[in-house]
Amino acid sequence: MARDSGKRQRRRRAPQDGRDEILQAAAVALSEYEWRELTVARVMARTTLARSSFYRYFDGLVDLLLQLAADLQEHLLHRADREQWQKRTGGVYDSARAALAGFVVLHERHAPIIKALLEASYHEPVFAQARSAMEDEFTESTATWIADEMASGRAECSDPRLLASALTAMTEASLVRWGAQKPPVDREARIETLLRIWIGAIYGLTSQDAAARWSSAKDEHVPLAESDPTRLAKPTD
C-alpha cells in the first residue's frame, strides 16, 4: 500500500482551463494597465499558475492579445446571429433595439480588451488587421440585413455595404468615446441614441415611428411608401 506523503495532490489541469484562466487574468490586468504597460508578470500574478506556464499557451503578449481579439470576434458574431439581424422572429424595431442593446453590453463587458486592441492597432500592423477583420465581419452581417430589408420593401439604400460600413464605424467610435467619459454615458442613452441613428439611416423613420409601425405586435411586413408622411424628409441640395 502506497504511503500518503501528506502533500496535497495537485489536480491535473486541462489545457483549455489554463488558457482560459490566463485570458481572464489578462482582461483584468488590461482594466488596470494600458496595453503598453502590460507584462507577463502582471498577467500571471492574477492567476494560480506559475509565471513560466504562460509560454505553454502563448508565444508572447502579442499572441495573447490576438487570442483575446479572436474570442471577442466570436462573441460579436454570436451576438449578431443570436439576435437574428438577418432572420428575425420579432418585429423590426424590437429586433434592432435588442441587437444594439446586446452590442452596447458586449462593448461594456469587454471594454479593456477593445481599448487595448485599438491602442495596439496604431502601432502594430497585425492588430490593425485583426481590428479590420472584426469590423469587416460586422459590416458584412449588417449589409446582408440591410439588403434583406430593401428586398422586402421596408428600406431604401443605394449601397447597402457602404451604409453598413458607415454605421459600423460610427457605432464603434461612439461606444469607445462614450466608454471613456467620466462618468460613463448612461447605457439606455447609448442604446437609444444608436437606435435613432440606425433606424433613421436605414428606414428614414424616427425610432418612435418605427416602434409604432414595426413593433412585434404590429405587422412588420408593411413596406415603406414613397408618400409615407412619417418618413424623414430627404435633404435638399
Question: Do 33 and 116 sit in the same domain of this protein?
Answer: no
Cβ within 8 Å of residue 155, ≥6 positions away: 146, 149, 202, 203, 204, 224
Cis preceding-peptide flag for 183 (omega within 30 of 0): yes
Model confidence at 119: pLDDT above 70: yes
Band of residue 233 on the pLDDT scale cut at 50, 70, 90: very low
Question: How far, in Å, CA of 212 to CA of 233, rounded?
Answer: 18
Question: Do 45 and 69 sit in the same domain of this protein?
Answer: no
Long-range residue pairs from 179-188, CB within 8 A, at least 24 positions apart, any chain? 179/107, 179/108, 179/111, 179/115, 180/115, 187/104, 187/105, 187/108
Question: Do 158 and 42 sit in the same domain of this protein?
Answer: no
Question: How far, in Å, CA of 50 to CA of 114, rounded?
Answer: 27
**CA distances, 128 to each of 66, 119, 131 (Å):** 11, 10, 5
Number of folded domains that form the chain = 2
Query: Tens digit of pLDDT for each residue in 178-228?
Result: 988 888 889 999 999 999 999 999 999 888 888 888 765 444 444 433 333
Question: Do 90 and 129 sit in the same domain of this protein?
Answer: yes
Question: Do 45 and 73 sit in the same domain of this protein?
Answer: no
Average pLDDT, the chain: 81
Q: Which residue has the higher pLDDT, 231 or 120?
A: 120
What number is the average pLDDT over the span 120-144? 88
Q: Are 151 and 212 in contact (CB under 8 A)?
A: no
In a domain? residue 232: no
Question: Do 93 and 205 sit in the same domain of this protein?
Answer: yes
Query: Tens digit of pLDDT for each residue in 2-49?
Result: 444 443 344 455 667 899 999 999 999 999 999 999 999 999 999 999
Cβ within 8 Å of residue 158, ≥6 positions away: none
131: three-class secondary structure by DSSP: helix
Question: How far, in Å, CA of 220 to CA of 186, rounded?
Answer: 30
Question: Do 84 and 112 sit in the same domain of this protein?
Answer: yes
Quote the domain boundaries for residue 209.
Answer: 65-214
Question: Do 22 and 78 sit in the same domain of this protein?
Answer: no
Cβ within 8 Å of residue 111, ≥6 positions away: 31, 179
**CA distances, 97 to each of 27, 181, 183 (Å):** 28, 23, 24
